Amino acid sequence: MDNKLLPGPAARPYRIGFLLIDGFGLMSYSATLEPLRAANLLAGKILYEIHHLPAAGARATSSSGAIIRANAQVGEQVDFDLMLVVAGGDPFSFRDERLFQWLRHLSRRRIWLGGVSGGPVILARAGLLRGRRATVHWEHAPTMTELFPDLLLEKTLYVMDHDRMTCAGGTAPLDMMHALITGHHGIHFARQVCDWFMHTEIRPSGNPQRAGLAERYHTHHPALLSTIELMQNNLAIPLDLPQLARLASLTTRQLNRLFHDKLHQSTMAFYRDLRLEKARNLLLQSPLSITRIALATGFGSSAHFSQAYRTKYGEKPSVLRGRRIRQD
């Protein structure tokens, strides 16, 4: 299955909407927007076409009083690729059924949806994060868990689950946008963008800093660590070997040799084990069904997932789930 975040055959800019809820944090907004602006600057052409959409009216106002003027409107028929909701303050008090309906309309049109800082709360209010892995700013996490028990909330910097992107805000969007730009234009170009902001320590989605990966896998090889980051960011819709190699600026043979030399596995075997490890954690820690866990970790069916899981762990996933329920 193709990953929609990867470049398609159309040679046009990737269209991103910023849906701004009054009271949004300027840091979260800037850390999301500025990497896209820098990517356009460094490429010498428009890679990312940006649209600003206040929740209502002709402008949105940040928590610090900064004003962002609209160049698009909620309900406008723009062929977006990604719509990012940026919110702060008290997103739980935001109730606008017209806006929720429009977000659901975008979802039905298969447009990627994302939330930054308090933005995931807006997506959850619209019913667009049910059964999804997601994250949110730590300030909102306890209330989010209480109000939306069917949401699997993770205490991470950002989460990509199929066609949803959620981010904790603050400086974390710098890392999320690095992952997005890497998926579009490769590791080397994404690093140029991060260097522009002197953001040299790229943090993987589930870890506070790169040292965690280096220590876990006992390697500091940049292409290897970057490829593992790509895998972590694409669990639900796995990339294939040619995609991974292209984004790492290596041949498939070079990438496989690197994984064999450093980790004693082929690239795709390592990727499968990474997905199965995530699935095992979900079985232990989440209420998601086995079928939903299978889809969240890139397996096309529960039967395929069960077979792969049993091969690795020696038991069916239902056995582990049953054992956890009995212990509870």
Residue-wise pLDDT for 195-240, tens only, equals 998 887 777 666 543 346 667 777 778 889 889 988 987 888 899 9
CA atoms within 13 A on the CB side of 328: 10
Per-residue pLDDT of the chain (328 residues; tens, 9 = 90+): 344 565 444 568 999 999 999 999 999 999 999 999 999 999 999 999 999 999 989 999 999 999 999 999 998 888 899 999 999 988 998 999 999 999 999 999 999 999 999 999 999 999 999 888 899 998 888 788 888 887 888 888 999 988 999 999 999 999 999 999 998 999 899 999 999 988 877 776 665 433 466 677 777 788 898 899 889 878 888 999 999 999 888 999 999 999 999 999 999 999 999 999 989 988 876 777 899 889 889 998 999 999 999 999 999 998 988 876 666 5
CA 94, distance to chain mean position in Å, is 24
| Domains of the chain, first to last | 14-176 (3.40.50.880), 210-328 (1.10.10.60)
The kind and range of the H/E element at 113 are strand 112-117
Residue-wise pLDDT for 73-120, tens only, equals 998 888 899 999 999 988 998 999 999 999 999 999 999 999 999 999
